[in-house]
């Protein structure tokens, strides 16, 4: 199969292509109001995919609006796109009216409605067609149209192939390409993981043809932190990281007090959990961050140690094999205690992990 003039390195299945054809038929109607919802605590892939899709839909002649469950980091606020984003947590009335007035809903970068936090019920109760585009394993059946492929590095990469399959690739603008590239860049940690499929680089090379400035994007995402955030990172690595070499694991925990000491802003702790994985022989890293009512957990692993399984078994979460998240209802200290008690139970698997 040929797509965008290149031989298509088939990741999309025939069933996906049929679903995409049905979605295209819906999009053939004129002037639809469309709401796009990414997951809670949106990351670069969630925001980048939402912006890329909104731009394309608007260029086809629809009115696409993005509603995020909560705020997203400043390092995702430099996009040149004029796609409009409403944060539900900050502007409930406006967000509700956008959702209520929508003829169609796209859910991006999550696999179950609960991942949209406070928007869960509004998604489940939405009466018009819902379309899921996602790359997480085990999608639940909460949308009429589900396009879900775990082989993609990111929802942004999948979305690019979906757009090409609809034949709307000519509607991709430079700023849409910039947003989609950002999704791929951030979900692969600057092409450091999840990049074993050549399709990722094929899509990147096609996005680059739109004239995007990849150096500028790299700076926008990764060279855009506050001094406080850098100091918080230094503090976490120096004072808060616990390494369990005999278990090939490491853990960082941060309390609310520590966050406020470093003037915490949304997104400041993003990526911290990855650092311990650069220690020789460490294959599993966890971070526990004290929030208002819960402790948010993030897990990263190397090789075949399943971070998502560890999270679903112990912290009511999930995600990908090597990047997962969850939460704990226990106070921070008890959460840390729980984690340290759990780890030895995984000793065999951790020691057997092949990288």
Query: Which chain residues interact with Mn ion by CB under 5 A?
Result: 45, 109, 154-155, 187
| 318 lies in the binding site for ligand 5GP (CB under 6 A) | yes
Identify whether the C-beta of residue 346 lies closer than 8 Å to the C-beta of residue 310: yes
Binding partner at 187 among Mn ion, ligand 5GP, none, C-beta below 5 to 8 Å by kind? Mn ion
Dihedral (CA of 115, 47, 28, 168) sign: negative
Please report how close the Cβ of residue 25 comes to ligand 5GP at its closest, in angstroms: 30
CA distance 57 to 38: 16
Determine which residue in the list 323, 336, 343, 350 makes contact with ligand 5GP, applying CB under 6 A: 323
In the complex with ligand 5GP, the residue whose CB is nearer, 73 or 325, is 325
The stretch near ligand 5GP (CB under 6 A) out of 150-158, 194-202, 314-322, 336-344 is 314-322
In the complex with ligand 5GP, the residue whose CB is nearer, 165 or 285, is 285
Tokens of 245: 């070499």
| 73 lies in the binding site for ligand 5GP (CB under 6 A) | no
| 320 lies in the binding site for ligand 5GP (CB under 6 A) | yes
Please report how close the Cβ of residue 153 comes to ligand 5GP at its closest, in angstroms: 12
Question: Of 55, 29, 83, nearest to 163 (Cα)?
Answer: 55
The stretch near ligand 5GP (CB under 6 A) out of 8-16, 61-69, 207-215, 321-329 is 321-329
**Element at 49 (helix H, strand E):** helix 44-60
CA distance 75 to 247: 34
Please name the residue that has the structure tokens 């996906």: 16
In the complex with ligand 5GP, the residue whose CB is nearer, 179 or 307, is 307
CA distance 87 to 94: 9
Question: Of 68, 161, 151, nearest to 106 (Cα)?
Answer: 68
Q: Is 67 helix (H, G, I), strand (E, B) or coil?
A: strand
Binding partner at 325 among Mn ion, ligand 5GP, none, C-beta below 5 to 8 Å by kind? ligand 5GP
Pairing of strands 85-87, 63-68: parallel
Q: Which residues form the interface with ligand 5GP (CB under 6 A)?
A: 39, 43, 115, 136, 298, 317-320, 323-327
């Amino acid at each position: 199969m040929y797509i965008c003039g290149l031989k298509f390195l088939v990741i999309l299945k025939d069933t996906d292509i049929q679903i995409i054809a049905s979605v295209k038929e819906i999009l053939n109607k004129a002037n639809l109001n469309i709401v796009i919802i990414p997951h809670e605590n949106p990351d670069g892939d969630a925001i980048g995919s939402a912006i890329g899709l909104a731009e394309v839909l608007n260029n086809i002649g629809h009115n696409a609006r993005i509603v995020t469950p909560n705020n997203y980091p400043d390092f995702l606020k430099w996009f040149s796109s004029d796609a409009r984003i409403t944060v539900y947590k900050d502007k409930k009335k406006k967000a509700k009216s956008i959702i209520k007035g929508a003829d169609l809903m796209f859910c991006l970068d999550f696999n179950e409605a609960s991942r949209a936090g406070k928007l869960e019920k509004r998604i489940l109760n939405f009466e018009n067609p819902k379309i899921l585009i996602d790359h997480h394993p085990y999608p639940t059946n909460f949308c009429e149209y589900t396009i879900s492929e775990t082989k993609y590095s990111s929802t942004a990469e999948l979305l690019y192939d979906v757009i090409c399959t609809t034949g709307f690739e000519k509607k991709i603008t430079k700023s849409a390409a910039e947003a989609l590239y950002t999704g791929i860049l951030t979900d692969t940690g600057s092409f450091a993981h999840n990049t074993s499929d050549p399709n990722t680089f094929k899509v990147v090379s096609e996005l680059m043809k739109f004239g995007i400035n990849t150096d500028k994007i790299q700076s926008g995402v990764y060279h855009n932190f506050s001094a406080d955030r850098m100091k918080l990172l230094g503090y976490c690595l120096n004072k808060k990281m616990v390494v369990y070499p005999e278990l090939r694991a490491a853990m960082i925990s941060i309390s609310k007090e520590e966050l406020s000491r470093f003037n915490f802003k949304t997104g400041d702790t993003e990526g911290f959990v990855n650092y311990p994985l650069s220690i020789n022989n460490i294959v599993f890293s966890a971070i526990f961050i004290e929030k208002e009512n819960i402790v948010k957990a993030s897990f990263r692993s190397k090789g075949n140690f399943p971070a998502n399984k560890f999270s679903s078994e112990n912290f009511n979460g999930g995600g990908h094999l090597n990047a997962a998240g969850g939460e704990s209802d226990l106070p921070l200290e008890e959460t840390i205690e729980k984690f340290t008690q759990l780890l030895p139970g995984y000793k065999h698997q951790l020691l057997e992990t092949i990288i």
